[in-house]
Every structure is written in C-alpha cells, then in structure tokens.
Structure 1
Amino acid sequence: MTGFLLHLLRHGAPEITGRMLGRTDCRPTQEGIAACVAQAKGLDIDIHISSDLARARQPGEALAAASGQPLIVDPRWRELDFGDWDGMSSAEVDPVALGQFWSDPDGRPPPGGERWSALTDRVSAAIHDLTPRPTLVVTHGGAMRAALALLCGFDARQVWAFDLPYASLLSLHIWPGETLSAQIAGLR
C-alpha cells in the first residue's frame, strides 16, 4: 500500500484580522496570497483544493493557476462557524462563555454556531473523499486542527496547542483505503 502527501495550508492574512472569522467572508491581502505562494513553492502537487471562502479560495486560485491545474472548491474545508460571535474580537465576547467554548468546543459551542463535532464530521468527509495523490488544501486554522484530530488522534483541547499562523503549512502522509477509513471512524 502506498500513501500520499496531504498538505494543509492556512490562508494568508485576511483584510480583517483580530476577529473570529468563521463564515465571515473577507478577502485576503496581496501579501497574504504571496505568503501562501511562497510557502507552497517546491511542493509536488497533483490536486489543488480550497475552502469556498475568499481568504482561502483566492490563494488557492493563485497556486492552481501557477501549476496549470484546476482548483477544486470544497466548502467542507471552511472554518468553524462562530455563530453570533462571528466577526467579533475575543474582547467583545463574554469571557465566561468564551472560556467554556475553548474548554469544551463540542458541548459549549458559540450561540448559533457550530459544534466541534460538526466541523470534524465535515473535514472527515472531505478527507475520506480525497484521491490518493499529492494534494494541497488551502483552508483555515479550525479545519486544519480538525484534520490533526482525525488523522493524528489529538483531542479538541490538544489541537488548540498548535500555533497555526497565517500561511502555515502542515504536511501529512496519508495511508488511504481501509486504514484511513478505520482511523477516521475510530477517532470521531
């Protein structure tokens, strides 16, 4: 059995920073797009995928165009939906409620927002549907953390210990087939 490389690239800096940007769709800066292009330089990629949100899609378009390959836009790679908190800074959110969310993102989701398990279910389905070829996904910090939880067995609290700044790159070797399906099913 042969595996394949899955590269997860967080989008570059968006025009709006310092806010909980889940479903809020804002453009990336030109510097943010350039940072993604620089980070992915030299990667051998067969498939380019991005979230449908502009801050991930636009760098994905630039990377796919540079390689002469199409971009597959997949909304399952979106950021966690922060519900009523979406677009707010941490300082604008009730600190008790925010602390409860960070401690238990599945049991205490943002009001009107998405549970951690819903995010991991989306990302799990997206990973399961990947073609086993070198793949680059331009996505968001939350989706990258969900992939780490699914593929490496980290719990929700552990994945928040990873610093994933804009344009950060995670490269994972994926073993497809029954092993991947069993691994994902066992970690949900």
Structure 2
Amino acid sequence: MSAHMLYLMRHGAPAVAGRLLGRTDDPATEAGIAACLARASGLEIDRIEASDLIRARGCAQAIGELRGVAVETDPRWRELDFGAWDGLAPAAIDPTRLAAFYDDPDAAPPPDGERWSALQARVAQALAAVPPRSTLVVTHGGTIRAALAALCGFDRRQIWAFDLPYAALVSLRIWPGPTRTVQIVGLAT
C-alpha cells in the first residue's frame, strides 16, 4: 500500500494562553485561527479531523471552510484532562507536584486528572481510525505528543523535547500495514 500524509496541528492560541487547558473549552483567538490558516496553506489534504473542544474545532472549521473540506470531530483527540489543575497557570501549582507530573505523567497525574497512559490509549484508538488518506488533525499539544509516542515509539522523556507552540504542525508520511512505517517529514513551529 502506498504512503499517505498525516498532519498533526496544534490549535491556535486561546484567549487564556499560558494555562493548563485540558477540558476547559475556551475558543482560539482570531489571531490564533489566522495562524492555523496560514500554517495549513499549501497542504494537500483530503480530510480534516479535530478535537471536539472549540479551540481546536474552530481552527479546523476555518481551514475546512477555506478548503471546502468537511470537518469530522472526535473526542479522542482531546487534550489530557488536567483535573484539579485545569485552567491554572503552572506558577499556581505546587512546583514539586508539577515537576513529578512532567517527570512521569503516568505515575504522578494531576489530582483528579487523566493518566498519561489513558491519553495514549485513546489517541492510539483515534489514530487507528484515520483512513489511509491525506488527513489534517487539529488537536492539542499533549495529544500530538501522545500520537508521536504511538506512531514513532518515543518514550515519555523524548516527547517533551518537541517544541509545539500554538499552530505548530507535525508532518508525517505513513506506510500502513502490519509493520507500519512512519517518517517525520517536517515540524513547523
């Protein structure tokens, strides 16, 4: 089977940038949406998927309207649920607990939040459902990291090495099949 492209785009800047936004459903700013539109220009895509949270869905819909491509939403593309930390700035969280989370997000999840392994499992399910066609997925930073772990085998320390600012785009070429091969073609920040 021939290769296809998978593009993973982080949503544009939300109105409350700089906070841990998991289930918080704030929209992207107009500038954030414009950044995603600019980043998507020139991509050859057949499909668009998005997280069902408005900051990702709104960016995807703007791209879809411009390109004449319908947007499919899927809650499996949501960001990690930060539980009691959701909506907080990192400075408002106990630094020891936050450091433990970044060191091992599965062993030290946010209070009442989602474990890293649960995020990875649902993202792996979402990836398995993507058909072998050129697809843009507009999603979240943690979700992109979980997808890279699933597709490329990066461990939890390696995935934090990727700088994924708002409107970042990871381009992957995928050869499907029982021994799926993945090539990172580009990272635009």
Query: So what's the TM-score if we normalise by structure 1?
Result: 0.94
Q: How big is the shift at 1:67?
A: 1.4
- Equivalent residue for 2:108? 108
Deviations 1:37-63 (A, max 9, x none): 000001000010010011100010011
Aligned length: 181
CA deviation after TM superposition for structure 1 residue 94, in Å: 0.8
Matched residues in 2 for 1:84 and 1:125: separation?
A: 26
Provide, for residues 160-180 of structure 1, a one-character-per-residue CA deviation record: whole Å limited to 9, x for no partner. Answer: 111100000000111223223
Partner of 1:155: 155
The C-alpha deviation readout for 1:90-112, integer Å capped at 9, x for no partner, is: 11111111111111101110010
2:89 aligned with 1:82, yes or no? no
Name the structure 1 match of 2:56. 56
Structure with the higher strand share, 1 or 2: 2
**Structure with greater helix percent:** 1
Instruction: Tell me which stretches of 4 or more aligned residues in structure 1 moved more than 6 Å.
Output: none
3-state DSSP of counterpart to 2:122: helix
| Equivalent residues in 2 for 1:35-50, closer than 5 Å | 35-50=35-50
Q: 2:186 maps to which residue?
A: none
Q: Distance in 2 between matches of 1:99 and 1:21?
A: 17
**In the alignment, what sits opposite 2:174?**
174
Q: Could you tell me the TM-score, scaled by structure 2's length?
A: 0.93
Corresponding position of 1:122: 122
Which digits, 9 at most, give the CA deviation of each residue in 1:102-156, with x for residues without a partner? 1110111001001111111111000101110000000000000011111111101
Distance 1:84 1:32 in 2: 26
Does structure 1 residue 10 correspond to structure 2 residue 10? Answer: yes
Distance 1:22 1:115 in 2: 12
Partner Cα separation in structure 2 for residue 60 and residue 179 of structure 1: 30
CA offsets, 1:48-84, max 9 Å, x none? 0010011100010011111112100011111111000
Supply the distance in 2 between the matched residues of 1:94 and 1:9 (Cα, whole angstroms). Answer: 30
Instruction: Give the whole-Å Cα distance in 2 for the aligned partners of 1:172 and 1:149.
Output: 13
Equivalent residues of 1:128, 1:180 under 8 A apart: no
Uncovered stretches (5+) of structure 1, i.e. residues with no partner: 182-188
**1:65 equivalent in alignment to 2:76:** no
Partner residue in 1 for 2:32: 32
